[in-house]
Structure 1
Amino acid sequence: DPQLAVSVSHTTRPKRAAEVDGEDYHFIDPAGFEAMVAAGEFLEQAEVFGHRYGTAAREVADKRAGGRDVILEIDWQGAAQVRGQVPDLIGVFVLPPSRHTLKERLAARGADSPESMAKRLVEARSEMSHVADFDYVVVNDDFNAALDNLRAIVQAERLKTPVQAQRQRSLLAGLLS
């Protein structure tokens, strides 16, 4: 969908082997991250498992100014921060189909020690307790089905009357004159 863009977050964590700077994340050192925080450049930012993550406000604003809907891959705390600044935020919480599947998916990444994985599972449980703060819930039991559900949400939001009234202003004016 050419009108859909994914925001690339900044992070202080080390780049993993298969990751590409600027595509997966903008990898930045802690001092650079702190400078961006001090300059108010982040729409949201948080520390997760000892590393900082943040969404650059300018990147999101530029994409939105170009008429694109922007997907932010953030946790519930980040979503709360963004909701305070972007009133038309639509929150989608993606759930794993089971605790067992979540554990399998974390293990398959091969990026965590057993201790780190245990912490991530505890954090995931805490994260899931905030599901009611979101507008939609998608269960990711099948990737393609979950993707179809996300596309349906985007399409439904684009068809809401306030959005269409704005996008179809000249059509409506012509029809009503």
Structure 2
Amino acid sequence: MTRRGLLIILSSPSGAGKSTLARRLMDWDATIRFSVSATTRAPRPGEEEGREYYFRSRAEFEQMIAAGEMLEHAEVFGNFYGSPKGPVEAALAAGRDMLFDIDWQGGQQVRNSSLGKDVVSIFVLPPSIAALEMRLRGRGQDSDAVIAGRMQKSRDEISHWAEYDYVLINDDLERTDTALRGIIQSERLRRERQTGLTDFVRGLNREFEARLAR
């Protein structure tokens, strides 16, 4: 039975566990591919074209936007970042699932794109604001000022929870991971995504007709 791939959007405030869940999801099913973004920033040491990013000049990126070749994009600290449509379209048509780790703004753009019908959007909430701040401080990477900024941004992120198809409260990583897998398994079985289903049912009807003709 053939099917069309899923465009999986996974969003959360920083520190809610989104990156861990994304990594575990791809460990669970190696056929799920992480969407590679394009950017106008220069490659960093060790980064490769098509692995970390598709590196494009600003003029090239703006041409892609004008031609409708970007599913979503944003300008961050003077550089463009975005998701090229072509590789995603090819993957979905081949029945492969693509995972997007993007914020609510990128999610809105993707849902409103020509591939919106393929989207399964999932928002991950922390069990509490205190737990969220504890996770951010536990990283030991940011100053108090940076953490305060992340917490303020988290409030804005969380305010968009109702725009998503599914919402998971990450109070237990194993339970949340299991729920996430269940969502993916269920969405893969939706009638409209099983592209070979119509032909399969026609085959069943032909079997009925052959029995009646005996």
Q: TM-score, structure 2 length as denominator?
A: 0.68
CA offset at residue 107 of structure 1? 2.6
Percent identical pairs in the alignment equals: 40
Give the conservation status (yes or no) of the 8 Å contact 2:191–2:197: no
Q: What is the CA-CA distance between 1:34 and the residue it aligns to?
A: 5.6
Distance 1:76 1:170 in 2: 38
Q: Does the 8 A contact of 2:61 with 2:80 survive in 1?
A: no
Q: Which runs of 5+ in 1 are unaligned?
A: none
Q: Deviations over 1:11-66 (max 9, x none)?
A: 5679899x96555x4274xx725632332242111245776432222231232132
> Does the 8 Å contact 1:93/1:138 carry over to 2?
yes
| Structure 1, 48-57 or 87-96: larger mean CA deviation | 48-57
Aligned to 1:69: 97
Residue 130 of structure 1: CA displacement? 0.6
1:87 is matched with 116
Cα deviation for residue 134 of structure 1 reads 0.5
The structure 1 residue matched to 2:135, chosen from 92, 97, 105, is 105
- Whether 1:26 aligns to 2:53 is yes
CA distance in 2: counterparts of 1:170 and 1:71, whole angstroms: 29
Q: Which moved more, 1:58-67 or 1:68-77?
A: 58-67
The question of 1:78 aligning with 2:103 is answered: no
Distance, in Å, in 1 between the alignment partners of 2:124 and 2:143 is: 24
Q: Given the two structures, how large is their TM-score scaled by the length of structure 1?
A: 0.80
2:162 corresponds, among 129, 132, 137, to: 132
Looking at CA atoms only, which structure, 1 or 2, has the larger radius of gyration? 2
The residue type paired with residue 197 of structure 2 is Q
Equivalent residues, number = 172
Displacement of 1:135 after TM fit?
A: 0.5
SS in 2 for 1:112: coil
How much has 1:161 moved relative to structure 2?
Answer: 2.0
| Over 4 Å off, 4+ runs | 11-17, 19-23, 48-52
Tell me how large the CA RMSD over aligned residues is. 2.9
Kindly indicate whether residue 61 of structure 2 is the aligned counterpart of residue 36 of structure 1. Answer: yes
1:123 aligns with 2:148: no
